Structure 1
Amino acid sequence: MSVANCRRRWLLTTAMMISLFCLSSGDELQPLMRLKTALVLNSNTTVFSSWKEDNLVCNFTGILCNSEKFVKEINLSARNLSGVVPFDAICSLQSLEKISLSSNSLHGNITDDLKKCTRLKHLDLGFNSFTGDVPDLSSLAGLEFLNLNATGFSGSFPWKSLENLTNLAFLSVGDNPFDSSLFPTQVLKLDKLYWLYLTNCSLTGKIPEDIGNLTLLKNLELSDNGLTGEIPPSIVKLKNLWQLELYNNSFTGKLPKGFGNLTSLVNFDASQNLLEGDLSELRFLTKLESLQLFENRFVGEIPEEIGEFKNLFNFSLYRNRLTGKIPQKLGSWQGMDYIDLSENSLTGPIPPDMCRGGYMDSLLVQQNKLTGEIPESYASCESLTRFLVNNNSLSGVVPAKLWSLPNLVRIDLSMNNFEGPVTADIAEAKSLGQLVLSNNRFSGELPSEISGASSLVLIQLSFNRFSGQIPGTIGKLAKLSNLYLDNNEFSGLIPESLGSCVFVSQINLAHNSLSGQIPRSVGSLPNLNSLNLSSNQLSGEIPSTLSLLKLSLLDLSNNRLTGRIPGSLSIQAFKDSFAENSGLCSDNVEGFRRCSSKSSNSGRLRTYMSCFISLLLVLLIALACFLLPKLRKNQTLSHPLKANSWNMKSYHVLSFSEKEIIDSIKPENLIGKGGSGNVYKVVLRDGKELAVKHIWPTPDGGERRSCRSTAAILKRSKSQSPEYDAEVATLSSVRHVNVVKLYCSITSEDSNLLVYEYLPNGSLWDRLHSCQKMEMGWEVRYEVAVGAAKGLEYLHHGCDRPVLHRDVKSSNILLDENWKPRIADFGLAKIVQTGGDWTHVIAGTLGYIAPEYAYTYKVNEKSDVYSFGVVLMELVTGKRPVEPKFGENKDIVNWVYSKFKSQENVLDLVDSTLPDAQKEDALNVLRIAIHCTSQAPASRPSMRTVVHMLEEAEPCKLTDITVVKEGENSQEEIKSFCMTPEKQ
């Protein structure tokens, strides 16, 4: 071939390639530019800076082309993208094999256009905020990887379409609020699967025996569902499994025989089920790194072989029925990160080497029968944050250096037989927040160096043998909230410096040998709620400053106090607070001698002045209460509402306009008032009823600090918070039958309207306690309890991120026309932030607040569980959370606990209006309430577990007793029938 011919052929080939390339680039540019247009405006990203029409599409960031320069992959995961994806555009890319858009803020529906991506092998849309149903996927027959985890999809998942996806190796569709369905048998035909994640997607029924056919599985996660029955024996065929997660279901029975054959297992979690039997099958799982079986019914001993597992670092078996010794070699190879064996019946010593390697975060073995001393090795374990060995039979002297561990946040040695002193080393414990040593035999003086532990919020040293003076340096503990030094042998003066602990709320120094006067500075503590100085040798007069305190408990009895009882304390209600002080006098309290006339006159003058000032304050408050609503009403309605000054943002399909709502905000529609605004009932033209909350602006136009958070979020301007849109989207996207529905917000520059569904039966509080009280049978109360529990369960477990309500109470549980409950008023709600589940804001209502507020501002979902437990107690007893009959500084939780502890007739706790035949059913729920209100947050069940427990406590209905004829059976016989095992 001549050189000229070669040149001509080369030029022709090159021209054809250039032409083909230009044609393909032009065809593929437009779909990508549509994708950019749809996302760039709402996204905080620079990813599209290279997406320009004069650039080659294969050079776009996140785009990968094949050898023919056609787009093969779109990789835009975790790029801060927001908007609606135009699947019709990107599915027109004929060579597209991979779409990866996970971990963004994409929203909207996914239309049937996705079906056109027929060449797809990899589809990853996980961790976004899509809505609606998952479309039929059967046309994507080539898919090998499918991740729709935590996408926000709801409705029914198209399980049947999976039958056509025979190439799937990776399937993850969990953490979505799908409609409840039986375990999808279609999955069992996907024999190429190595990864199956179906956690938290509303599955019910049993795991089919055919699960053993998926022999390539390495990861199987079915947690947080409603699965029942036994773990199928065929699961032992899955010998490639390295992770098996089954927690938070209702599995029963024993671990399958041959379970020990799963020798590749690294992580195994079957916690929070109803499993039983022994743990012998675990002896062979030598590769385990994490073993979580807490909250089950396992019995017997922990296999000694587990102590030989060289990689095990997370080990949690708490709240089972285990006996015998903890394997003494546990952790001796590389140490443990976390171990929790609490609430069993374990015996013997604490293994000595669980901090081998110098790292261990938490050691929790409380409520067992352990003996022996604390091994010296833990005194050098500087990484420890929690050391909880309370409620055992441990003894000996605590290693001195244990007091000084720099990262220790909580140490609880209570209810053991420890002795010896607290050493001066405690000054080095800079992170220590809770020091709990009660009910031991500790002795010696409390070192003055304790002030160096500057993070202390709780000191609990009750029932020991501490002696000497209370150190004066204690006033340097600026964060101290609770001080319990009662039932010891302290002597000398109460430190004046105690008045510097401005956050302290409870002081108990009772039953010691303290002398001298009560410091006046104690009366200056602004947060002091409880003061017990009884059974000491205190003398002198009671400081008048104590009358300035708002105390729920005051006990100065059995001392040597003299003089007049201060005016505001000299009332009959405080009579017992001053008993056994023969030198005290009062002109008002029976049982005390009268004060002298001179002092009496001056006392009367002070009393008259106090009464006058109090009366004046009452009048001023009454005047304010009378005028403020009028001012606010005028503020709300005096200005005409311009139609174009309002902006409506809808969260559901609406059948009304903003004008129809705004026109209804008038006095005759007012149905309630709150701290942040008025509530109006709106009847639409079609007869539908709505509730509209009109949020008032603050005087300075800023956000009201006490505003309910949903309202506060809606009132922020776009410039105030970068998280604004995400938070509103989360709160407004809540979709659950037991959570009140927010239809839309209508906002203007100076006020906001929130439009909710209208619930005609008011709140649970109204029906139980107010003038609108109605008799509620136990079946109705039970259904309210279960429905409200499911609403909270959804908030905690069903959202992309858990939502803490933080003000769970009966007045925030509303009832529809059929008495179905709705969780309402997200005024204090907090979305749990990624990387931590704590919030530092004090919130809640007296009587419902979890006890951990007393020693830390850090609360999580378990605080909602406590509050819900209080609601359960209201439903069972008919009592309010706080009533005078409970006693000073007592609430319904203390009252119920004391009745159970004293073994009184607990049936008397149940509301007397309920029939005797239903009281046993009510008691079953009361026992759940006691579980929910456990003092330790870790001991409370999750809301998912609470729902399971309530469902198991379903009341026996008289309609179930088909053999009973009218008049033939007594109430006792019926009750006996209802309590048979079949009915339990």
Structure 2
Amino acid sequence: MSPERDRKILLLIIIGFISGVCSDEHELVWSLKTALAESNTKLFESWKPNISVCEFAGITCDDTGSLVKEIDLSNQNIRGSIPFESVCQLQSLEKLSLGFNFLHGSVTEDLNKCSRLTYLDLGNNLFTGVMPDISSMIGLSYLYVNKSGFSGTFPWASLESMPELVVLSVGDNPFDPTPFPEQVVKLTNLTWLYMANCSIGGQIPAGIGQLTKLINFEISSNDISGPIPSEIAKLLNLWQLELFSNNLTGKLPVGLRNLTNLQFFDASMNHLQGDLSEVKFLSQLKSLQLFENQLTGEIPPEIGEFKQLVNLSLYRNQLTGPLPQQLGSWSDFNFIDVSENLLNGSIPPHMCHNNKMTELLILQNNFTGAIPATYADCKTMSRFRVSNNMLSGVVPSGIWGLPKAKIIDIANNNLEGSITSDIQDATTLGQIFAAHNRLSGELPQEIVKAASLNTIDLSHNHLSGEVPATIGGLKHLDTLHLDNNKFIGEIPNSLGLCDSLSDINLAFNSFSGGIPASLGRLPTLNSLNLSSNQLSGEIPGSLSSLRLSLLDLSYNKLVGAIPESLSIEAYNGSFAGNQGLCSQKVTYFRRCSSYSGGVSSWIRIVISCLSVGSVVCLLILAYLCYLKTKGGKEGAAAEMPWNVKSFHVLSFMEGDIIDSMKEENLIGRGGSGQVYRVSLKNGMDLAVKYMRNVDSGVRAKRQLAGGIQKEFEAEVETLSSIRHVNVVKLYCSITSQDQESRVLVYEYLANGSLWDRLHDSSNQKLGGLDWITRYEIAVGAAKGLEYLHHGCERPIIHRDVKSSNILLDEYLKPRIADFGLAKIGRTDTCTQLIAGTHGYIAPEYGYTYKVNEKSDVYSFGVVLMELVTGRKPIEAEYGENKDMVYWVCSKLKNKESVLSLVDSSISEGYKEDTIKVLKIAIMCTSRLPTLRPTMREVVKMLEEANPCKLVAIINLSKDKQNVLM
């Protein structure tokens, strides 16, 4: 056989081998397209069976042009499960990048067969289950599994075989809690270490100093304790250091000053102490975040010379002294929050030097001097908050007209000047807080052009003149406080057009004329205070239709009869100081008479005195009889002394409540006690929650008592100060002196809970809920939560939002109830127990124990799904360990399958309207909290989805938009 023939045979063998290999490679890659067929992406349009796999989009081959070297399908909107068994047979595969998609399902041990990988990215997906062993990938340099959905135990031991690892990104996953993994500090080639929010505990080891190549180190939102180790000062290449939301203690370590390349430093929400002396050397900083610690001392003046600094957040510490006056004058300064410290001096004037600043927050300090005029030209400002200081001088007129401002808060200072016509330019302004200043002049007519206003608080100033008659044009107005000023003229009748108004306080002015009857038509009005004015005429009968928690018309010049429905004990002091009023029921007013003649005035006085005396005697006799009867009763409840704390004017005694807590009045039982319906003699119905420690074991009894005590205190603290039409009213708390028994007295809601009306078959006799009613319940409940999150001085997180905690009154208007798990104040705080109800709990709360408003938003999204589908959050049909959110998302394939989600009892004509609400529900239940809207945004979207009018279609996130539109 000739050499030439041998070469030809060999060439044919090689060609055949390569052809076989190419055929195999093509088949293996093609399996990806088959597995991801449900994806909505143009990526696969170039994947055709008759072309080389190397021509496929996202595929890179080696130098031979035949073997697949890289697969990069990241950020392509692909969904489905990856066939790793096939993919890992690609013998030259070095890079597998699948991040930022919607991949789901579990990842099998077949992944470990991709032993040649140097780059693996599975991050930002929706995988489930445990991440498998990857110890075979001994050449791996880049590992991204952050925000991938993996749970269980991370295979930390696999890292021991990866000495070349440069990037390790495992954060934002619900892994099992573990101390800081010792394998990590041995990876001396690391430049990027992202371990945030993945259940790391213990202390940062001293060995972290060995990772001298680190550029980025993030271990925030974990359970790290102890001090920041001094060895961290060895990481001279650090560009970013993120330690926030842990339990770190001690001082900023000596040597931190050595990190001169540091640009982003965040150690906020810890328990750090000491001063900022180490920070003054970090001149390259762009962002410094140390809020919510216990730091003391002054802010180093050197920080004012930092030419790159754009963000400074030091709020809720104990810092003293002035702010550096050059602060922000060198760069595109964006944000400052130094609120709730002990700072003094004047406001640095040049922080909006380049017109890039968005937020100036310095409230609750001791700042003095005037508001610098430079901020009147800060067109980018969205939040201007300088309240609770000692500022003086005239408010620069341009402040009122900042075109992008959402909140102007100058309350509790000594500021002067007037509210100028510039306010017409504040088209995005939602809230004005200017109470307790020395503002003067008239309220400008142009305020009506600030159409986004929902809160106006100008109380305790020297404002005068008439309130603009057109103020009713502020359609979003919720709160109007103009009390303690010098306003004159009539109360504008147009206020009755502000359908969102819930709180009006015009007390202590000189308003005259009559009370506008239009106020009685405000559907959400909850508090009305018109006291201490010069109002005259009769009380409009339209006020009788309001359900007010506060009504005060005292000290005016009102005449005529008090409407019968307002003549109740709860409003006893509401009409004092109006000599011309009369009543058939309120005893301390003269009786109304239909004729002018008759008995002379002195005889009427005698009769009145005798009548009052008789009533007093009867009351004394009745009380003595009550005491005698009470003394003869058996049982601890009747005999024990009680302490009462009232939060509204009461028309009952504690005895009326205690005596009615009988078995025949029992309407419910819960984990913390029983609920009774109490009907008073005056026709009023109350709901009474009775909480008592009954466990016989001493230790168990103490634990139970502690739990009930915390729940009781949480509910009282939350509800005692709330005044909102969509939050259940707490009249009073009653506590036994031995602290063994606790009673909460609420308004009684006749139609039970939303859960009962939707899911309890025994309630079918009450009739189903049509879509209009369901929609109104959704809006009302949303407004209640919006008030809790945004309308209180400190945000309130409910933590147990569900349909059984949304109660319905006789008109099916909703009230948010049961605040036993509520948290008040700072968000993103940790708790050691998962609070809430299965099916409603946000996924991140289940593994991070973090409390914030977005957890409530998720739960409310589930409630919206209940209203649309009529189904329960947990049903067998969804599958094992699956809930309604999973089930709904699995049906978003086409319009027909989406419409099949709608409760069959809802009229066909409203099904398109229900889909608008379903879109909102899907946004509320986004897996990532940052993608969920705020409750304020939810309310706005729901109002736009009103089935009773034409509305704009709500945009949904890209992954759902094509299916739902």
CA distance in 2, matches of 1:290, 1:227: 22
1:675 equivalent in structure 2: 757
Q: Measure how far apart 1:402 and its partner are.
A: 1.2
CA distance in 1, matches of 2:53, 2:853: 40
Secondary structure, counterpart of 2:36 in structure 1:
helix
Secondary structure, counterpart of 2:757 in structure 1:
coil
Of 202, 205, 228, the match for 1:205: 202
Indicate yes or no: 2:572 matched with 1:575: yes
Q: Which amino acid aligns with 1:677?
A: H
Q: Is the 8 A contact 1:708 1:825 kept in 2?
A: no
Indicate yes or no: 2:856 matched with 1:805: yes
Of 908, 930, 934, the match for 1:838: 934
Indicate yes or no: 2:95 matched with 1:61: no
1:795 equivalent in structure 2: 845
Unaligned 5+ residue runs, structure 2? Answer: 598-666, 668-752, 780-798, 803-815, 822-829, 864-872, 874-880, 886-917, 941-965
Q: Is the 8 A contact 2:854 2:932 kept in 1?
A: no
1:75 equivalent in structure 2: 72
Secondary structure, counterpart of 2:85 in structure 1:
helix
Shift in alpha-carbon separation, 1:697–1:587, aligned structure 2, 3 A: closer
Q: Is the 8 A contact 1:504 1:527 kept in 2?
A: yes
Q: Measure how far apart 1:838 and its partner are.
A: 2.1
Shift in alpha-carbon separation, 1:458–1:385, aligned structure 2, 3 A: same
1:518 equivalent in structure 2: 515
Q: Which amino acid aligns with 2:52?
A: L
Q: Is the 8 A contact 1:511 1:535 kept in 2?
A: yes
Q: Which amino acid aligns with 1:386?
A: R
Q: Measure how far apart 1:189 and its partner are.
A: 0.8
CA distance in 2, matches of 1:431, 1:419: 24
Of 266, 270, 294, the match for 2:267: 270
1:437 equivalent in structure 2: 434
Q: What does residue range 763-782 of structure 1 map to in structure 2 within 5 Å? A: none
Backbone CA RMSD of aligned residues? 3.8
Q: Is the 8 A contact 2:757 2:769 kept in 1?
A: no
Q: Which amino acid aligns with 2:856?
A: H
Unaligned 5+ residue runs, structure 1? Answer: 601-624, 626-670, 681-692, 710-737, 742-763, 770-782, 815-821, 845-984
Secondary structure, counterpart of 1:185 in structure 2:
coil
Of 349, 353, 357, the match for 2:354: 357
CA distance in 1, matches of 2:569, 2:116: 84
Secondary structure, counterpart of 1:804 in structure 2:
helix
Shift in alpha-carbon separation, 1:35–1:704, aligned structure 2, 3 A: farther
Q: Measure how far apart 1:157 and its partner are.
A: 1.0
CA distance in 2, matches of 1:181, 1:303: 38
Shift in alpha-carbon separation, 1:739–1:122, aligned structure 2, 3 A: farther
Q: Measure how far apart 1:17 and its partner are.
A: 6.2
Q: Is the 8 A contact 1:475 1:501 kept in 2?
A: yes
Q: What does residue range 580-979 of structure 1 map to in structure 2 within 5 Å? A: 580-597=577-594, 674-678=756-760, 705=775, 786-788=833-835, 794-795=844-845, 798=848, 804-806=855-857, 830-831=925-926, 837-840=933-936
2:84 equivalent in structure 1: 87
2:623 equivalent in structure 1: none
1:124 equivalent in structure 2: 121
1:289 equivalent in structure 2: 286
Q: Which amino acid aligns with 2:50?
A: D
2:615 equivalent in structure 1: none
- Deviation string 1:652-700 (CA, Å, 9 cap, x unpaired) is xxxxxxxxxxxxxxxxxxx9961211389xxxxxxxxxxxx99x99788
Q: Is the 8 A contact 2:857 2:935 kept in 1?
A: no
Indicate yes or no: 2:472 matched with 1:376: no
CA distance in 2, matches of 1:60, 1:213: 43
1:334 equivalent in structure 2: 331
Moved more, 512-521 or 375-384: 512-521
Q: Is the 8 A contact 1:177 1:202 kept in 2?
A: yes
CA distance in 1, matches of 2:569, 2:817: 31
Secondary structure, counterpart of 1:492 in structure 2:
strand
Shift in alpha-carbon separation, 1:345–1:834, aligned structure 2, 3 A: closer
- Deviation string 1:372-409 (CA, Å, 9 cap, x unpaired) is 10111100000000000000000100111111111011
CA distance in 1, matches of 2:577, 2:279: 62
Q: Is the 8 A contact 1:806 1:843 kept in 2?
A: no
Q: Which amino acid aligns with 2:78?
A: L
Shift in alpha-carbon separation, 1:239–1:526, aligned structure 2, 3 A: same
Shift in alpha-carbon separation, 1:152–1:793, aligned structure 2, 3 A: closer
CA distance in 2, matches of 1:165, 1:701: 58
CA distance in 1, matches of 2:818, 2:529: 36
- Deviation string 1:811-844 (CA, Å, 9 cap, x unpaired) is x9x9xxxxxxx9x999986436766642446689
1:32 equivalent in structure 2: 29
CA distance in 2, matches of 1:519, 1:785: 52
CA distance in 2, matches of 1:201, 1:570: 59
CA distance in 1, matches of 2:190, 2:71: 24
Q: Is the 8 A contact 1:479 1:503 kept in 2?
A: yes
Shift in alpha-carbon separation, 1:22–1:498, aligned structure 2, 3 A: same
CA distance in 1, matches of 2:52, 2:184: 41
- Deviation string 1:694-743 (CA, Å, 9 cap, x unpaired) is 9x99788999648999xxxxxxxxxxxxxxxxxxxxxxxxxxxx9999xx
2:105 equivalent in structure 1: 108
Give % identity: 51
Shift in alpha-carbon separation, 1:128–1:257, aligned structure 2, 3 A: same
- Deviation string 1:938-977 (CA, Å, 9 cap, x unpaired) is xxxxxxxxxxxxxxxxxxxxxxxxxxxxxxxxxxxxxxxx
CA distance in 1, matches of 2:596, 2:399: 55
Q: Measure how far apart 1:334 and its partner are.
A: 1.7
- Deviation string 1:64-106 (CA, Å, 9 cap, x unpaired) is 0001220000100111111111111011000000000011111
CA distance in 2, matches of 1:322, 1:334: 24
Shift in alpha-carbon separation, 1:477–1:47, aligned structure 2, 3 A: same
CA distance in 2, matches of 1:430, 1:396: 26
2:213 equivalent in structure 1: 216
Q: Measure how far apart 1:792 and its partner are.
A: 6.7
Q: Which amino acid aligns with 1:58?
A: C
Q: Measure how far apart 1:218 and its partner are.
A: 0.2
Secondary structure, counterpart of 1:297 in structure 2:
coil
Shift in alpha-carbon separation, 1:807–1:463, aligned structure 2, 3 A: farther
Q: Measure how far apart 1:548 and its partner are.
A: 2.0
1:528 equivalent in structure 2: 525
CA distance in 1, matches of 2:388, 2:884: 39
Shift in alpha-carbon separation, 1:674–1:161, aligned structure 2, 3 A: same
Shift in alpha-carbon separation, 1:356–1:10, aligned structure 2, 3 A: farther
Of 162, 183, 203, the match for 1:186: 183
Q: Is the 8 A contact 2:857 2:934 kept in 1?
A: no
TM-score (norm 1): 0.65
CA distance in 2, matches of 1:128, 1:366: 40
Indicate yes or no: 2:244 matched with 1:148: no
Q: Which amino acid aligns with 2:63?
A: S
CA distance in 1, matches of 2:68, 2:343: 62
2:93 equivalent in structure 1: 96
1:137 equivalent in structure 2: 134
Q: Measure how far apart 1:541 and its partner are.
A: 1.1
Q: Measure how far apart 1:35 and its partner are.
A: 1.6
Q: Is the 8 A contact 1:807 1:843 kept in 2?
A: no
CA distance in 2, matches of 1:562, 1:70: 95
Q: Is the 8 A contact 2:315 2:338 kept in 1?
A: yes
CA distance in 1, matches of 2:116, 2:506: 76
1:319 equivalent in structure 2: 316
- Deviation string 1:233-258 (CA, Å, 9 cap, x unpaired) is 10000000000000010000011101
Secondary structure, counterpart of 2:309 in structure 1:
coil
Q: Measure how far apart 1:52 and its partner are.
A: 2.3
CA distance in 2, matches of 1:123, 1:244: 24
CA distance in 2, matches of 1:302, 1:674: 57
Q: Is the 8 A contact 1:64 1:71 kept in 2?
A: yes
